[in-house]
Amino acid sequence: MKTEFKVELSSIIKEFGLQTICMPKDGEKITISSTEINKPGIQFSGFYEYYDNTRIQVIGKSEDSFLHNHDEKEQKEIIKHFFSTKPPVVIITRNLPVSEIMIEQAKKYGVPVLRTGDGTSDFMSALIAYLNVHLAPRVVRHGVLVEVYGEGVLILGDSGIGKSETAIELVKRGHRLIADDAVEIRRVSSKSLVGSAPENIRHFIELRGIGIVNVRRIFGMGAIKLTEKIDMVINLENWEPEKVYDRMGLNAETMNILGLDVVSVTIPVKPGRNLAVVIEVAAMNNRQKKMGYNAAAELLQKLGMDDGAAGAAVKHEQVDPF
């Protein structure tokens, strides 16, 4: 069963500093569940066949001009029909004046009317981005999310494998913590996953034998980050002598999260391995691969073992990873 996420109208009003023109009783408790936004110009002309009344309705200069090209009686019929569909909220852009007819119909049908001074296109793009984040499909994974050299690295593994200890070492080396223990992952677009920490455990990390520490308090504001795009997944597992681990890294493995494939690397753990350094190198190597350079492919090419596919992976002899 698909979970439907919602955002309260009061949160949108606060985020964008919207002016309240008309607000029905308990109107701020209205919730928005659609990431889509509609400009109702075509509805004002009478076409409602594909109209979705769950979307936020935005009225800009075009719609306002269309209404003013009609006499008062026609305006009232157009506005009455529109507000009778009971959209969740109507937002007027560019601080355009709001007619008494519109306020009257908004009150009659209990539809909030808000206003902003922003231009229509700028406001709509910002609002869509906000809704995409807050209404995105999401999942919570047990792990640690850190930013290493600009790469969002999701560290997974069994409890007690050393995820939090590795994260602390990475923070000491100048990298940033996003989440420990529980990572909330959201699919914010068809290509991007963004991770964050649940608000009640944000900035906290658990170290066995020491307890709970606040990373922001101990290491400062530069050691934490609220959200980060997930660029790769690192799976930590206990070293198994009989298991054959990837020693070349020519063919990247992936992990599917919320329908998107993310580059995945398995790192065996045993005493003496400096996991923080290994993860730093993994992050830089992943960044190089995204820029078109594959060290394993270049090595095979120089050894004369290039089968064609390896050579195609080497696009540049030298790539600055930074």
Q: What is the pLDDT of residue 221?
A: 93
Q: What is the pLDDT of residue 3?
A: 66
Which residues of the chain, if any, have pLDDT below 50? Answer: 1, 310-311, 313-322
Half-sphere exposure of 4 (CA within 13 A, CB side): 6
User: pTM score, two decimals?
Assistant: 0.76
Quote the tokens at residue 3: 């979970």
Fold of the CATH domain 7-134? 3.40.1390
Distance CA(93)–CA(90), nearest Å, equals 10
Known catalytic residues are 142, 163, 181, 247
Q: What is the pLDDT of residue 314?
A: 46
Residue 18 per-residue DSSP state = P
Q: What is the pLDDT of residue 91?
A: 97
Where along the chain do the CATH 3.40.1390.20 domains lie? 7-134
Q: What is the pLDDT of residue 321?
A: 41
106 burial type by CB count under 10 A (0-12 exposed, 13-18 middle, 19+ buried): buried
182 burial type by CB count under 10 A (0-12 exposed, 13-18 middle, 19+ buried): middle
Q: What is the pLDDT of residue 92?
A: 97
Q: What is the pLDDT of residue 320?
A: 45
Where along the chain do the CATH 3.40.50.300 domains lie? 138-285
Pick the CATH number of 138-285 from 3.30.420.40, 3.40.50.300, 3.40.190.10, 3.90.400.10: 3.40.50.300
Mean pLDDT of the chain: 89
Q: What is the pLDDT of residue 193?
A: 94
Q: What is the pLDDT of residue 2?
A: 57
